[in-house]
Amino acid sequence: MEDDGILLMESPQRIFEKYHIDEEMGFALPNPLEKLPPPYDEWISIAKNLPELIKKNELRKKVDELKILSIDGLSGHKLQRLARLALGYITMAYVWNQGDGDVRKVLPQNIAIPYCELSEKLGLPPILVYADCVLANWKKKDPNGPMTYENMDILFWFPGGDCSKGFFLVSLLVELAAASAIKVIPNLLKAVKNQDEVTLKKALHYIASCLHRAHEEFEEVHKHVDPSTFFNVLRIYLSGWKGNSQLPEGLKYEGFWENPKKFAGGSAAQSSIFQCFDILLGIQQCSGEEFAAEFLQEMRNYMPPAHRDFLLLLKSGPSVREFVRSRDDIELKADYNECVKAMVSLRKYHLKIVAKYIVIPASQQPKKNQASEESSEQKNKGTGGTNAMDFLKSVRTTTEKFLLIDH
């Protein structure tokens, strides 16, 4: 990885272009495409009708009838991202079907081969990730209208009615609110390098305000996502095959790999935005509990490679935290602390959401016999396969430790 030269010498536009970052949208894919050319449009028609096909128990039959398509006709990043999104939805639906424990352990080659080839090309694992279902799964109803929940929709749905839309769009709007702050990062780092406290204060102040706005967007989840539907329906389709008792060996991708592979399900930990601010503020999650640090590190493999590289680039840049510590400036410390507090606040709020949407519904499940398809331990896991409460508590506690206290 290059040194911090690119961050300090290149224009922000060049940096963002190189690392697939949009000045307004951040890590989200700007204006995703909605249609694939023939013959790939077959994938779209299945992905568009998943709830109906699953309800009629016709989904697997439809998938089994598909021809194996070469991915050579899919040129351009946006077209490839759309194809991957559609294949990701189809894969989750094929594995979990009606969510009743009838699980498929083999993904047939007619879907496995193009999905794995495309995933390899895009540098992502062949499972539905946050960069698919949140960052590349949206459209505006009125193209000239605002980026608001009311004027937006998702491209593909899982069973559970509006739960998919609520969960994915609220996640996207949280991401976008925080991502507004990315555009000040190059200037912020130049300010550190040039010891320009005035510019640094402005940038930190702006980052804090974006993180506060992200918190406000997060609160909308209660309005749009029903806990019972999330827990009993949508969560199942977002579950992966790593650390999952229903697929202890993982999933076999027929015709591509000889042995089954284990991949984690989609998780907010796969968002680059909050790891980006951890790095920028010098919040070292590796100083916290080992399992949480390892999980965050592992989740980088589920991010688009350009975004992963941007995080590494940031890490090589000048330290905002050390500069703030070295100055005897109460206001500067306060502006820095405001950013850290905003990160703590978001993580505390995330804990409340996990309690409401995973822990409480899990405790309300009827006790089943030993042959139950899903263990109680499994039910308390987030979609990424970790114990969500333990993970978030650890990350929150570590974040709090990085507040600068005057001694």
Measured from the Cβ of residue 168, the count of other Cβ atoms closer than 10 Å reads: 29
Angle, alpha carbons 167-178-393 (nearest 5°): 70
Number of domains in the chain: 1
- d(CA 329, CA 218) in angstroms, rounded, equals 33
In a domain, 257, yes or no: yes
Q: Beta strand 252-253 with 106-107: parallel, antiparallel or unpaired?
A: parallel
From the annotation, which residues make up the binding site? 350
Contact status, residue 272 vs residue 27, Cβ threshold 8 Å: yes
Residue 4 has pLDDT above 60, yes or no: no
> 379 versus 334: which is more confidently predicted?
334
Q: What's the average model confidence in pLDDT over 159-188?
A: 97
Instruction: Provide the pLDDT for residue 375.
Output: 56
Instruction: Provide the pLDDT for residue 381.
Output: 60
pLDDT digits (tens, 9 = 90+) for 314-330: 999 999 999 999 999 99
Measuring CA to CA, which residue among 73, 71, 83 is closest to residue 29?
Answer: 83
Measured from the Cβ of residue 289, the count of other Cβ atoms closer than 10 Å reads: 16
pLDDT band for position 2 (50/70/90)?
very low
In a domain, 78, yes or no: yes
Which of 4-18, 126-140, 163-177, 178-192 is least confident?
Answer: 4-18
- d(CA 370, CA 138) in angstroms, rounded, equals 41
Q: Where are the beta strands (DSSP E) in 143-192?
A: 152-154
Q: Which residue has the tokens 């759309």?
A: 82
Treating both helix axes as pointing N-terminal to C-terminal, what angle do 77-96 and 109-122 enclose, rounded to 10 degrees?
140
Side-chain-side CA neighbours of 110 within 13 Å: the count stands at 14
Instruction: Provide the pLDDT for residue 368.
Output: 54
pLDDT digits (tens, 9 = 90+) for 28-78: 999 999 999 999 999 999 999 999 999 999 999 999 999 999 999 999 999
In a domain, 380, yes or no: yes
- d(CA 133, CA 151) in angstroms, rounded, equals 18
In terms of Cβ atoms closer than 10 Å to its own Cβ (0-12, 13-18, 19+), residue 218 is buried
Q: What's the average model confidence in pLDDT over 235-252?
A: 96
Instruction: Provide the pLDDT for residue 364.
Output: 87
Is 104 strand, coil or helix?
coil
Instruction: Provide the pLDDT for residue 387.
Output: 83
Q: Beta strand 252-253 with 152-154: parallel, antiparallel or unpaired?
A: unpaired
Residue 284 has pLDDT above 80, yes or no: yes
pLDDT cut 70: percent of the chain above it: 93
pLDDT cut 90: percent of the chain above it: 88
Is 138 strand, coil or helix?
strand
In a domain, 406, yes or no: no
Contact status, residue 4 vs residue 317, Cβ threshold 8 Å: yes
Residue 297 has pLDDT above 80, yes or no: yes
Measuring CA to CA, which residue among 193, 135, 175, 386 is closest to residue 277?
Answer: 175
- d(CA 391, CA 293) in angstroms, rounded, equals 9
- d(CA 77, CA 117) in angstroms, rounded, equals 14
Q: What's the average model confidence in pLDDT over 75-92?
A: 98
Token digits for 162? 């509006």
- d(CA 380, CA 368) in angstroms, rounded, equals 15
From the annotation, which residues make up the binding site for heme b? 350
- d(CA 371, CA 361) in angstroms, rounded, equals 20
Residue 376 has pLDDT above 70, yes or no: no
pTM across the whole model: 0.94
Q: Read off the CATH number of the domain in which 49 is found.
A: 1.20.58.480
Instruction: Provide the pLDDT for residue 374.
Output: 56
In a domain, 407, yes or no: no
Q: Beta strand 152-154 with 106-107: parallel, antiparallel or unpaired?
A: unpaired
Average pLDDT, the chain: 93
pLDDT digits (tens, 9 = 90+) for 193-217: 999 999 999 999 999 999 999 999 9
Residue 7 has pLDDT above 80, yes or no: no
In a domain, 304, yes or no: yes
Side-chain-side CA neighbours of 339 within 13 Å: the count stands at 29
In a domain, 26, yes or no: yes
Q: What's the average model confidence in pLDDT over 290-294?
A: 92
pLDDT band for position 370 (50/70/90)?
very low
Instruction: Provide the pLDDT for residue 5.
Output: 67
What residues contact 231, with CB distance under 8 A and at least 6 apart? 357, 358, 361, 362
Is 252 strand, coil or helix?
strand
- CA dist list (Å): 184 to 24, 188, 196, 204: 11, 6, 14, 9
Residue range of the domain that includes 39:
5-365+373-401
- CA dist list (Å): 172 to 258, 300, 311: 36, 18, 19
pLDDT band for position 9 (50/70/90)?
confident
Residue 340 has pLDDT above 80, yes or no: yes
In a domain, 104, yes or no: yes
Instruction: Provide the pLDDT for residue 365.
Output: 81
Measuring CA to CA, which residue among 158, 112, 161 is closest to residue 137?
Answer: 158
